[in-house]
Structures are given as structure tokens and as C-alpha cells.
């Protein structure tokens, strides 16, 4: 949310009120700004203003950042007609202008970052920034040294003109791999494994640009990022 903004917008966002109700409540004299009843919704306000509705202070909560350990079966979208979304797992007020900084497929688990700070998430998702994301995957077939080298050097994905950028691959066991990539193409990890004749059976994200999934978070749990985690994005 950008400030200054219209009082109507502030109320509909912070009080999670439909615009039609906002107008009615303003007309009824239920809204005050800095101690004065206000009858016009188009005045400009900022978070520094003392705004009340029906006697209660309304405060803009500012920029917020959360990490979620995403379980399978949830989609990374603000709403979905068929499936629950990651936002169904976040019990916080005013999530209206939140978004996911780097989506995961419905069947992928692990680290998802959610924020209402568009500039911050741009640092993560912009292809130009080439931030590394680390995944652990289980494969259908045994992983060969040759496949690892190919994945690291770059593979051609079906339907793409350019090969994938250099990646880091570390064998965990014959059927498990830790793969770090600095791009975010559609189904990229699954397509990379397909490009070397294998298939991803399970996929889990453990790190985004240096932010590690907190191992104390059970599947479906979330927590706010620390100040240090928020600023790691600028370093990596
Ligand atoms: N690559 C994929 O194929 N799927 C994901 O969810 C993330 C990266």
C-alpha cells in the first residue's frame, strides 16, 4: 500500500471493509481523523494520522514478511477455486495486498516467502537478480555423475531457446540431490530432471537467496522473518 492514500482506500484495506460500506460508515460519522469526524472519503491520509472507526484505532501494519513451510496440496496463489492456498495457512490481519515471492507447485513442499513489500520480492523474483534457490529432490531413477555434470553446466528445456544457467548439484544419495538454481522458469527443476532422462518424484525447497527454511517449522507452520533474514536479500 502506498501513502499518502485516500481515506476510503485506507479504511477498506485496514478495516477489511467493502468500499460501499466505507462510504456509508463515513456518512454516518463513524470515522475520525486526528480527532475530527470526517465526512469525505477522498481526503489523503498516511500511517502517521490517528484514524478511528466506531471508536477503535485503525493502524496500518506496515511491511511484513513471513516464511512458510508449505505442505503438499496448497497452491501459491491469492485465491483458487479448486484448492486451498498458502494464504489459508497464514492467520494474520490484512493479507489483501500480500503475494508470494517465488511460487512452488502444488505438490512441492518447503520454503515459501510471503510479503506485502513488492520491491523486496522483486529482488528475489526478478530474472536479472539471479538469486539462488536450493531444492532437495528425490528422483525416479538413479542419478549419474554424467547427469549431475549436465545439470550443473546447463540443460535444454523443452520449449526454451536457451539452456539453463549454471547450477550447483550435490548428490545426497543415489536417488536424492540438492540442486541450486538461479532462475525460476515454469516447473524448472522437474523439467531439468526430465532433460537428463530422469523424473522428480518429490521436491522440497530449503533456501531462497540465503534465507533458510527454519527447521523448527512443521509443515503448514509459518513465522515472521527476522530483520537479518529480511536484509540477507540485499547481500546474496
Ligand atoms: N521447480 C519445479 O519444477 N517446481 C517447483 O515447485 C519449483 C521449482
Residue 109 CA to ligand 1 center (angstroms) comes to: 10
Residue 107 CA to ligand 1 center (angstroms) comes to: 9
Please write the tens of the pLDDT for every residue from 137-166. 999 999 999 999 999 999 999 889 999 999
Full domain range(s) for residue 136:
132-208
| Final residue before a domain boundary, out of 21, 37, 58 | 58
Write the burial class of residue 86 (CB in 10 Å: 0-12 exposed, 13-18 middle, 19+ buried).
buried
Kindly give the number of the ligand 1 atom that is closest to the alpha carbon of 104. Answer: 6
Please check whether residues 147 and 97 belong to one and the same domain. Answer: no
pTM, rounded to two decimals? 0.90
Residue 2 pLDDT:
86
Please check whether residues 195 and 139 belong to one and the same domain. Answer: yes
Measured distance CA(150)–CA(166) in Å, rounded: 9
Measured distance CA(153)–CA(164) in Å, rounded: 8
Residue 94 pLDDT:
87
Angle made by CA atoms 182, 70, 89, in degrees to the nearest 5: 135
Share the mean pLDDT of the chain.
Answer: 96
Q: What is the mean pLDDT of residues 21-42?
A: 96
- Sign of the C-alpha dihedral, residues 119, 124, 128, 131? positive
Rg (CA), the chain: 22
Number of domains in the chain: 3
Active site residues: 105
Please check whether residues 118 and 139 belong to one and the same domain. Answer: no
Please check whether residues 50 and 75 belong to one and the same domain. Answer: no
Please write the tens of the pLDDT for every residue from 121-134. 999 999 999 999 99
Please write the tens of the pLDDT for every residue from 195-231. 999 999 999 999 999 999 999 999 999 999 999 999 9
Please check whether residues 176 and 146 belong to one and the same domain. Answer: yes
We report the CATH number of the domain holding residue 194 as: 3.30.70.1560
Ligand 1 pocket: which of 75, 131, 188, 199 to mutate (most atoms within 8 A of CB):
188
Q: Is the CB of 178 under 6 A from ligand 1?
A: no
Amino acid at each position: 500500500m502506498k501513502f499518502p492514500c485516500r481515506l476510503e482506500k485506507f479504511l477498506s484495506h485496514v478495516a477489511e471493509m467493502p468500499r460501499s460500506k466505507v462510504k456509508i460508515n463515513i456518512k454516518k460519522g463513524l470515522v475520525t481523523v486526528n480527532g475530527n469526524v470526517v465526512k469525505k472519503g477522498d481526503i489523503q491520509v498516511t500511517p502517521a494520522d490517528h484514524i478511528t472507526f466506531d471508536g477503535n484505532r485503525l493502524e496500518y501494519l506496515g511491511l511484513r514478511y513471513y516464511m512458510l513451510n508449505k505442505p503438499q496440496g496448497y497452491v501459491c496463489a491469492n485465491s483458487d477455486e479448486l484448492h486451498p492456498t498458502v494464504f489459508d495457512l497464514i492467520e494474520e490481519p490484512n493479507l489483501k495486498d500480500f503475494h508470494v515471492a517465488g511460487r512452488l507447485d502444488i505438490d512441492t513442499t518447503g520454503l515459501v516467502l510471503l510479503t506485502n513489500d513488492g520491491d523486496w520480492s522483486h529482488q528475489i523474483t526478478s530474472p536479472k537478480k539471479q538469486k539462488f534457490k536450493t531444492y532437495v529432490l528425490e528422483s525416479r531413477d538413479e542419478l549419474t555423475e554424467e547427469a549431475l555434470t549436465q545439470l550443473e553446466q546447463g540443460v535444454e528445456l523443452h520449449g526454451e531457446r536457451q539452456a539453463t544457467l549454471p547450477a550447483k548439484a550435490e548428490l545426497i544419495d543415489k536417488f536424492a540431490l540438492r540442486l541450486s538454481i538461479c532462475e525460476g522458469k515454469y516447473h524448472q527443476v522437474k523439467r531439468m530432471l526430465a532433460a537428463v532422462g530422469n523424473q522428480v518424484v518429490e521436491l522440497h525447497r530449503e533456501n531462497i537467496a540465503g534465507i533458510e527454511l527454519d527447521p523448527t517449522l512443521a509443515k503448514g507452520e509459518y513465522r515472521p522473518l527476522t530483520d537479518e533474514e529480511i536484509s540477507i536479500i540485499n547481500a546474496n
